[in-house]
Amino acid sequence: MGYTVERRLGSGGFGAVYLASLDGQRAALKFLDLSRVKDRVEREVSILLRLSHPNVVGIRGLGYWPSAAPEFAVIAMEFVEGRELGTWANEENPSARQVARMVLDVARALAASHEAGVIHRDVKEANVMVRADGVAKLVDFGVGDYEGAREITSDVLPPGTPDYRSPEAWTYFRQNVKVPGACYEPGPSDDLWALGVVLYVLLTTHRPFEGEHFTLPDVVIANAAVSPREVNERVPEALSDVCLRLLAKTPDTRTPSAQALYVELEAALQRADDAWDVPLCDAYGEDTATTDGGPDKDDDLGGLEEWVNELRKRPRRGKRPQKKKPLPLADGGTATERVQGRVG
């Protein structure tokens, strides 16, 4: 393919991604082990070729390495220089307006994908990159699907991240786990549910549903999410309501489409007041670099009440301040050492 590899960007269970350049243009090269994901490589390339949108990562080409006896497929993609969405939120302590704009970008990406018959199937913070100019891009369609594609998995549930699976997916799993040949087919509403989980995390720093590997499905199926505004009073009511509609228990009651979500967010932003510009979390200070916001935990509280209070404790976000280094003295010691030497 002619690229010069510069450094590794990351790795996973099926391969690794490298930063590379060709004729002065940078790209991300995704190396995938053909012995494990040959069919999945063809699927991902087919998906990316169907999509061309400012908020979706672009494809540059496909090759195989080494050329004589290929062991890896190499997908050359647009290099998105930036941070994962979760990292961006933790470092920048965004306001509601900033969060809404990020989710708006993802809604645009999903609207274009769904219009092309593509389902991402793994929408989460780690699969959204935020560039320095504030544009969010949806990346990693490696477990995605599209209309008319042949089935390449035999499991009841397709690949994905459990914490972001919809209640209808878990219900299907519970009802069909022992049925031979049963295979759940996610649709646009599954992507929207996952985006609702992402929005909830951005607004509150908590996932809407918590559970262990075996209990999570029942938690998602049986429980309604606590309102983001109830968890974090800085969340505007309109944005909290948008999030809860994405997390409605059935596709029929959920936000109907990514395009509808886009329109809804645009309207909410147009009506937004100054409260939308307040950071959603407390910032770190020099004396709080390792603590969360809110009162200290009361050891006398019962388990449930303690859990609820912990959930509603507003956390801290943003860059942690650097501790100031003691000033050096002429004798080679420091001011801190001089004071400590006088104690006692």
Whether pLDDT at 342 is above 50: no
Other beta carbons within 10 angstroms of residue 71's beta carbon come to 12
Interatomic CA distance for residues 169 and 151, integer angstroms: 17
Residue 312 neighbours by CB distance under 10 Å: 15
| Separation between Cα atoms, residue 284 and residue 323, nearest integer Å | 12
Among residues 87, 82, 80, the alpha carbon closest in space to that of 28 is found at 80
Residue 19 has a CB neighbour count (10 Å cut-off) of: 17
- 295 or 38, which is more confident? 38
What is the per-residue pLDDT for 336? 43
For residue 14, the SS3 value is coil
198, 151 in Cβ contact below 8 A? no
Backbone angles phi, psi at 33, to 5 degrees: -70, 110
pTM score, two decimals?
A: 0.85
* Distance from C-alpha of 10 to C-alpha of 17, rounded to nearest angstrom: 5
Helices (H), the chain: 34-50, 85-92, 96-115, 167-176, 188-204, 216-222, 228-231, 237-246, 258-271, 303-312, 335-342
- Grouping H, G, I as helix, E, B as strand and the rest as coil, residue 18 is strand
30 is in an annotated binding site: yes
Specify whether the CB–CB gap between 188 and 110 falls below 8 A. yes
Q: Which amino acid is at 172?
A: Y
Residue 109: pLDDT band (50, 70, 90) is very high
Q: How confident is the model at residue 216 (pLDDT cuts 50, 70, 90)?
A: very high
H or E segment to which residue 119 belongs: strand 118-119
Compute the radius of gyration of the chain from its Cα atoms. Answer: 23
| CATH of the domain spanning 4-78 | 3.30.200.20
Which CATH fold would you assign to the domain 82-280?
A: Transferase(Phosphotransferase); domain 1 (1.10.510)
Over residues 27-80, the pLDDT tens digits come to 999 999 998 887 889 999 999 999 999 999 999 999 999 989 999 999 999 999
Q: What is the DSSP string of 251-304?
A: TTTS---HHHHHHHHHHHHHH--GGGGSBSSEEP-TT-TT--SSPPP-TTS-HH
- Residue extents of the structural domains in the chain: 4-78, 82-280
Which of 15, 10, 81, 87 minimizes the C-alpha distance to 44? Answer: 15
The 10s digit of each residue's pLDDT in 2-34 is 899 999 998 876 789 999 999 999 999 999 999
Residue 22: helix, strand or coil by DSSP?
strand
Extract the tokens encoding 28: 């991300």
Tokens of 67: 């050329």
Query: Model confidence over 223-258: pLDDT tens digits?
Result: 999 999 999 999 999 999 999 999 999 999 999 999
